[in-house]
Amino acid sequence: MKIKHVLATKSPIIHTITPQAPLSQAVAILSEHNIGTLVVMEDDRIVGIISERDIIRAAAQDPAIFERQVQHVMTANVITGRPSDDLKAVLQTMTNRRFRHLPILDGDILLGIVSIGDVVKAQLGEYEGKLDTLETQIIEEG
């Protein structure tokens, strides 16, 4: 199974923000849509990613955080994926490197974001399916 099969059942809406936006706006969007991360875009290019964790980490150091701009708090070295990526490999990378959201690009075009939850769920579905199908065969043999 590939990342594209996860993206196919996700909402077409991708939540993004600009690097110059105040952090308060980022928090408002995260809260309104009940999501954990925003992709930071400038001139249609991805320049960063900002997550709940980034914000909490920054807030712990600087309580006046919400007046600052997104670009000062975001992660700028964003790891990205492609639709043809193997699900298993991505899951391994997300687990080992401890990040929870992966923007998926086709060249420069942002296609969507998959969360570790999405990937785990798809992987589980695949395992469950294989087990179920195996079971059918075994029952027939037995």
Partner 1 sequence: MTTVGTEAQPLRVAIIGSGPSAFYAADHLLKQSDLVVEVDMFDRLPTPFGLVRGGVAPDHQKIKTVTKAFNLVAKNPRFRFFGYVEYGKDLSHADLVEHYHQILYATGAQSDRHMGIPGEDLTNSFPATAFVAWYNGHPDYRHLQFDLSQERVAVVGVGNVAIDVARILCLSHEELARTDIADHALEALSKSNIKEVYLLGRRGPAQAAFTTPEVKELGELEEADVVAIPSEVALDDVSRADLEAGGDKAAQKKVELLQGYAQRAPEGKKRRLIFRFLVSPTEVLGDSDGRVAGLRLAKNELYASESGSIASRATGETEDLPVGLVFRSVGYRGSPLVDVPFNERWGTFLNQKGRIIDPTSQQPKIGEYTAGWIKRGPSGVIGTNKPDAVETVQCMLEDLATGQVLNPSHAERESIEKLVQERQPNYVTFADWQHLDEIEVANGAATGRPRVKFTRIEDMLAALGKNVTA
> What is the nearest approach in angstroms of partner 1 to the Cβ of residue 60?
29
Q: Which one of 29-37, 38-46, 67-75, 89-97 is the stretch in contact with partner 1 (CB under 8 A)?
A: 89-97
> What is the nearest approach in angstroms of partner 1 to the Cβ of residue 107?
13
Contact present, 108 and 44 (Cβ < 8 Å):
yes
Q: Which two tokens stand for residue 50?
A: 């900002």
> What is the nearest approach in angstroms of partner 1 to the Cβ of residue 23?
26
Residues 67-86 within binding reach of partner 1 (CB under 8 A) = 79-82, 84-86
Does 108 help bind partner 1 (rule: CB under 8 A)?
Answer: no
Using N-to-C axis directions, what is the helix angle for 87-97 and 116-141, rounded to 10°? 130
- Specify which residues 75 forms β-bridges with: 49
Contact present, 55 and 28 (Cβ < 8 Å):
no
How many residues touch partner 1 under the rule CB under 8 A: the total is 42
Q: How far apart are CA 24 and CA 68, in angstroms?
A: 8
Does 9 help bind partner 1 (rule: CB under 8 A)?
Answer: yes
The C-alpha angle 43, 29, 4, rounded to 5 degrees, equals: 65
User: Footprint of partner 1 on this chain (CB under 8 A)?
Assistant: 1-2, 4-13, 79-82, 84-86, 88-90, 92-93, 96, 102, 111, 124-126, 128-134, 136-137, 139-141
